[in-house]
Amino acid sequence: MRIPLLLVPTVVLSVAIILSPSSARTSAQSIARLTAPYETGDPGQRLYVRQGCYQCHGLAGQGSILSGPPLSASRLDDTSFRRYVRNPKGAMPPYTSWALPDDDLGQIERFVRLLQAGRPYTAVPALAKVAASGARPNTANTVADGEALYRRNCAVCHGAAREGGIAPNLIKEGKNRDASAIAALILDPPEGMPSLTPDPLSKAETDAVARFVATPS
Distance in angstroms (rounded) separating the CA atoms of residues 31 and 51: 10
Position 106 scores a pLDDT of 94
pTM: 0.48
Position 11 scores a pLDDT of 35
Looking at domain 140-214, which of 1.10.760.10, 3.40.50.1820, 3.30.420.10, 2.60.120.10 is its CATH number? 1.10.760.10
Torsion, CA 27, CA 30, CA 35, CA 41, rounded to 10: 80
Of 32-36, 137-141, 156-160, 198-202, least confident by mean pLDDT is 137-141
CATH architecture of the domain with residue range 35-119: Orthogonal Bundle (1.10)
Question: Do the beta carbons of residue 85 and residue 100 sit within 8 Å?
Answer: yes
Average pLDDT over residues 109-138: 67
Does the fold of domain 140-214 match that of domain 35-119? Answer: yes
Question: Do the beta carbons of residue 174 and residue 214 sit within 8 Å?
Answer: yes
Residue 36 or 120, more confident: 36
Residue 114 or 103, more confident: 103
Question: Do the beta carbons of residue 128 and residue 122 sit within 8 Å?
Answer: yes
- pLDDT of residue 43 exceeding 60, the answer is yes
Average pLDDT over residues 176-200: 84
Sequence ranges of the domains in the chain: 35-119, 140-214
Position 46 scores a pLDDT of 92
Residue 116 or 55, more confident: 55
Position 66 scores a pLDDT of 67
Question: Do the beta carbons of residue 157 and residue 165 sit within 8 Å?
Answer: yes
pLDDT in tens, 44-57: 999 999 998 988 88
pLDDT in tens, 63-100: 776 677 778 766 778 888 898 899 887 778 899 999 99
CB burial readout 44-66, b (16+ within 10 A) else e = bbbbbbbbebbebbbeebbbeee
pLDDT in tens, 163-181: 888 788 898 888 888 888 8
